[in-house]
Structure 1
Amino acid sequence: MQIFEGIISDRGSRYAVSGGPCASEADAKDFIKTLKRNKKFAKATHNTWGVLLAEGPSKNDDGESGAGAIILRMLESAGLRNHIIVVTRWYGGKHLGGDRFRHVQDAVRIYLESRST
Structure 2
Amino acid sequence: MREVSRRAQSTHHAPYHHFGDRAAILATLATEGFSQLGQRLAKANCLAAVLGYDAVLRASARAYVEFALEHTGVFRLMFQNHADNPLSSPELAANGLAAGPNSLA
Q: Same fold (TM over 0.5)?
A: no
TM-score, length of structure 1 as denominator length: 0.26
Which has the larger Rg? 2
Which has a greater percent of strand? 1
TM-score, structure 2 as length reference: 0.28
Structure whose residues are more often helix by fraction = 2
